[in-house]
Amino acid sequence: MFGSMLMNQKHDALNEVLKSFANLTDNDIAVGGSFWRTRRIGKGDFFNMQSFVCTDLALITKGIFRVYYVHPETQEEKNVFFFSERQFLVSFRSFINQYPCYYYIQALEDAEIISINYKDLQYLYTTPTGWEKFGRLVAELFFNYSQARAEEFLFNTAEERYVKLSNEHPNIVNRIPAYHISSYLGIKNPSLTRIKKRLLGQK
Protein backbone atom coordinates (compact mmCIF):
# COMPACT_ATOMS: atom_id res chain seq x y z
CA MET A 1 0.00 0.00 0.00
CA PHE A 2 2.81 2.41 0.90
CA GLY A 3 4.50 1.79 -2.46
CA SER A 4 1.23 2.44 -4.24
CA MET A 5 0.82 5.74 -2.38
CA LEU A 6 4.30 6.85 -3.41
CA MET A 7 3.61 5.94 -7.02
CA ASN A 8 0.38 7.94 -6.94
CA GLN A 9 2.23 10.94 -5.52
CA LYS A 10 4.78 10.77 -8.33
CA HIS A 11 2.06 10.56 -10.95
CA ASP A 12 0.30 13.50 -9.28
CA ALA A 13 3.54 15.47 -9.71
CA LEU A 14 3.69 14.41 -13.37
CA ASN A 15 0.08 15.42 -13.94
CA GLU A 16 0.70 18.81 -12.37
CA VAL A 17 3.66 19.46 -14.65
CA LEU A 18 1.81 18.26 -17.74
CA LYS A 19 -1.09 20.60 -17.00
CA SER A 20 1.09 23.63 -16.34
CA PHE A 21 3.57 22.94 -19.15
CA ALA A 22 1.24 21.98 -22.01
CA ASN A 23 -2.21 22.75 -20.59
CA LEU A 24 -3.20 19.10 -20.94
CA THR A 25 -6.70 18.28 -19.78
CA ASP A 26 -7.70 15.52 -17.38
CA ASN A 27 -8.89 13.54 -20.40
CA ASP A 28 -5.55 14.00 -22.18
CA ILE A 29 -3.72 12.79 -19.10
CA ALA A 30 -6.06 9.82 -18.72
CA VAL A 31 -5.37 8.79 -22.32
CA GLY A 32 -1.60 8.92 -21.82
CA GLY A 33 -1.23 8.13 -18.14
CA SER A 34 -0.77 4.38 -18.49
CA PHE A 35 2.28 4.84 -20.74
CA TRP A 36 4.39 6.57 -18.08
CA ARG A 37 6.59 4.38 -15.85
CA THR A 38 8.38 5.19 -12.60
CA ARG A 39 12.06 4.31 -12.34
CA ARG A 40 14.88 4.72 -9.84
CA ILE A 41 18.42 5.45 -11.00
CA GLY A 42 21.24 5.15 -8.48
CA LYS A 43 23.95 7.73 -8.06
CA GLY A 44 26.53 7.23 -10.80
CA ASP A 45 24.21 5.18 -12.99
CA PHE A 46 23.03 6.25 -16.42
CA PHE A 47 19.75 7.34 -17.94
CA ASN A 48 21.38 6.98 -21.34
CA MET A 49 24.88 6.34 -22.65
CA GLN A 50 26.96 7.50 -25.58
CA SER A 51 26.41 5.47 -28.76
CA PHE A 52 23.04 4.21 -27.48
CA VAL A 53 19.73 5.44 -28.85
CA CYS A 54 17.78 7.50 -26.31
CA THR A 55 14.42 5.69 -26.19
CA ASP A 56 12.73 7.54 -23.31
CA LEU A 57 11.61 11.00 -22.33
CA ALA A 58 11.46 11.49 -18.56
CA LEU A 59 10.35 13.90 -15.88
CA ILE A 60 12.71 14.09 -12.91
CA THR A 61 10.90 13.79 -9.59
CA LYS A 62 14.07 13.51 -7.50
CA GLY A 63 17.76 14.14 -8.11
CA ILE A 64 20.19 15.87 -10.45
CA PHE A 65 21.49 14.58 -13.76
CA ARG A 66 24.38 15.76 -15.87
CA VAL A 67 24.70 15.53 -19.64
CA TYR A 68 28.33 15.24 -20.69
CA TYR A 69 30.62 14.07 -23.44
CA VAL A 70 34.13 12.66 -23.38
CA HIS A 71 36.77 14.38 -25.51
CA PRO A 72 37.99 11.71 -27.96
CA GLU A 73 41.66 12.70 -27.66
CA THR A 74 42.11 13.79 -24.04
CA GLN A 75 39.32 11.65 -22.55
CA GLU A 76 38.36 14.68 -20.49
CA GLU A 77 34.71 14.86 -19.47
CA LYS A 78 32.87 18.04 -20.44
CA ASN A 79 29.55 18.80 -18.74
CA VAL A 80 27.00 20.30 -21.11
CA PHE A 81 23.74 20.45 -19.13
CA PHE A 82 22.34 19.80 -15.69
CA PHE A 83 18.72 18.77 -15.14
CA SER A 84 16.97 18.56 -11.78
CA GLU A 85 13.54 18.18 -10.19
CA ARG A 86 10.48 19.05 -12.28
CA GLN A 87 12.50 19.22 -15.50
CA PHE A 88 12.20 16.94 -18.51
CA LEU A 89 15.20 14.75 -19.27
CA VAL A 90 16.13 13.46 -22.72
CA SER A 91 18.87 13.49 -25.33
CA PHE A 92 16.52 15.18 -27.73
CA ARG A 93 18.17 14.73 -31.14
CA SER A 94 18.81 11.06 -30.41
CA PHE A 95 15.22 10.69 -29.18
CA ILE A 96 13.42 12.30 -32.11
CA ASN A 97 15.66 10.77 -34.79
CA GLN A 98 16.20 7.44 -33.01
CA TYR A 99 19.90 7.35 -33.72
CA PRO A 100 22.81 6.89 -31.29
CA CYS A 101 23.38 9.59 -28.70
CA TYR A 102 26.59 11.67 -28.59
CA TYR A 103 26.34 12.14 -24.82
CA TYR A 104 26.17 10.37 -21.50
CA ILE A 105 23.32 11.23 -19.12
CA GLN A 106 24.28 10.31 -15.56
CA ALA A 107 22.61 10.64 -12.16
CA LEU A 108 24.69 12.70 -9.73
CA GLU A 109 22.45 11.64 -6.84
CA ASP A 110 20.10 8.76 -6.17
CA ALA A 111 17.30 9.78 -8.49
CA GLU A 112 13.73 9.00 -9.46
CA ILE A 113 12.05 9.66 -12.79
CA ILE A 114 8.78 9.03 -14.60
CA SER A 115 9.38 8.19 -18.25
CA ILE A 116 7.57 7.43 -21.49
CA ASN A 117 8.90 5.38 -24.40
CA TYR A 118 9.41 6.93 -27.85
CA LYS A 119 6.94 4.59 -29.56
CA ASP A 120 4.24 5.22 -26.96
CA LEU A 121 4.68 8.98 -27.27
CA GLN A 122 4.47 8.73 -31.06
CA TYR A 123 1.19 6.89 -30.65
CA LEU A 124 -0.15 9.62 -28.36
CA TYR A 125 0.67 12.22 -31.02
CA THR A 126 -1.86 10.51 -33.31
CA THR A 127 -4.71 10.70 -30.81
CA PRO A 128 -7.23 13.59 -30.84
CA THR A 129 -5.80 15.07 -27.63
CA GLY A 130 -3.30 17.71 -26.53
CA TRP A 131 -0.34 15.35 -26.72
CA GLU A 132 0.80 16.62 -30.10
CA LYS A 133 0.98 20.10 -28.58
CA PHE A 134 2.99 18.63 -25.72
CA GLY A 135 5.50 17.23 -28.23
CA ARG A 136 5.84 20.59 -29.96
CA LEU A 137 6.42 22.37 -26.67
CA VAL A 138 9.07 19.84 -25.62
CA ALA A 139 10.84 20.39 -28.95
CA GLU A 140 10.74 24.16 -28.44
CA LEU A 141 11.97 23.77 -24.87
CA PHE A 142 15.05 21.75 -25.82
CA PHE A 143 15.79 24.03 -28.77
CA ASN A 144 15.78 26.95 -26.34
CA TYR A 145 18.07 25.04 -23.95
CA SER A 146 20.54 24.41 -26.77
CA GLN A 147 20.39 27.97 -28.10
CA ALA A 148 20.74 29.51 -24.65
CA ARG A 149 23.71 27.28 -23.84
CA ALA A 150 25.56 28.36 -26.99
CA GLU A 151 24.78 32.02 -26.36
CA GLU A 152 26.01 31.83 -22.77
CA PHE A 153 29.55 31.24 -24.01
CA LEU A 154 29.22 34.00 -26.60
CA PHE A 155 27.70 36.74 -24.47
CA ASN A 156 28.14 35.92 -20.77
CA THR A 157 31.08 35.77 -18.39
CA ALA A 158 31.78 32.66 -16.33
CA GLU A 159 30.36 34.47 -13.31
CA GLU A 160 27.13 35.26 -15.16
CA ARG A 161 26.89 31.62 -16.26
CA TYR A 162 27.36 30.56 -12.65
CA VAL A 163 24.57 32.86 -11.44
CA LYS A 164 22.24 31.55 -14.14
CA LEU A 165 23.04 27.96 -13.17
CA SER A 166 22.36 28.73 -9.50
CA ASN A 167 19.01 30.30 -10.37
CA GLU A 168 17.92 27.36 -12.52
CA HIS A 169 19.09 24.74 -10.01
CA PRO A 170 18.73 26.10 -6.46
CA ASN A 171 21.19 24.60 -3.97
CA ILE A 172 23.09 22.83 -6.74
CA VAL A 173 26.35 24.16 -5.30
CA ASN A 174 25.74 22.12 -2.15
CA ARG A 175 24.56 19.00 -3.94
CA ILE A 176 27.28 18.16 -6.45
CA PRO A 177 31.11 18.37 -6.49
CA ALA A 178 32.62 21.70 -7.53
CA TYR A 179 34.60 20.13 -10.37
CA HIS A 180 31.35 19.26 -12.14
CA ILE A 181 30.28 22.89 -11.97
CA SER A 182 33.69 24.08 -13.16
CA SER A 183 33.46 21.74 -16.14
CA TYR A 184 30.01 23.08 -17.00
CA LEU A 185 31.22 26.68 -16.80
CA GLY A 186 34.34 25.98 -18.85
CA ILE A 187 36.72 27.08 -16.10
CA LYS A 188 39.07 25.54 -13.54
CA ASN A 189 38.30 25.05 -9.84
CA PRO A 190 40.40 28.04 -8.62
CA SER A 191 38.40 30.36 -10.89
CA LEU A 192 35.15 28.97 -9.50
CA THR A 193 36.39 29.58 -5.95
CA ARG A 194 37.13 33.23 -6.81
CA ILE A 195 33.65 33.64 -8.32
CA LYS A 196 32.02 32.24 -5.19
CA LYS A 197 34.04 34.54 -2.92
CA ARG A 198 33.24 37.58 -5.06
CA LEU A 199 29.51 36.85 -5.08
CA LEU A 200 29.55 36.16 -1.33
CA GLY A 201 31.20 39.53 -0.74
CA GLN A 202 28.41 41.27 -2.65
CA LYS A 203 25.70 39.96 -0.31
* Contacting residues for 103 by C-beta, under 8 A, at least 6 apart: 48, 50, 67, 68, 69, 80, 91
* N-term to C-term CA, the chain: 48
Q: How much is the pLDDT for 67?
A: 97
* Contacting residues for 3 by C-beta, under 8 A, at least 6 apart: none
DSSP string, 51-107: TSB--EEEEEEE--EEEEEE-TTT--EEEEEEE-TT-EE--HHHHHHT-B-SSEEEE
* Contacting residues for 136 by C-beta, under 8 A, at least 6 apart: none
How does residue 202 score in pLDDT terms, banded at 50, 70 and 90?
A: confident
Phi first, then psi, for residue 134 (nearest 5°) are -55, -45
Pick the closest to residue 181 from 66, 93, 45 (CA basis): 66
pLDDT digits (tens, 9 = 90+) for 153-199: 999 999 999 999 888 887 788 899 999 999 999 999 999 999 988 98
pTM listed for this prediction: 0.90
Task: Report the C-alpha gap between 183 and 134 in whole angstroms.
Answer: 32
Phi first, then psi, for residue 202 (nearest 5°) are -85, -10
Q: How much is the pLDDT for 7?
A: 54
CB 103 within 8 A of CB 50: yes
Q: How much is the pLDDT for 203?
A: 66
| CB neighbours of residue 93 within 10 Å | 14
**Which helix (H) or strand (E) is 116 found in, with range?**
strand 111-117
pLDDT digits (tens, 9 = 90+) for 80-93: 999 999 999 999 99
CB 143 within 8 A of CB 151: no
- Helix or strand or coil: residue 42? coil
- Helix or strand or coil: residue 162? helix
Strand partners, 187: none
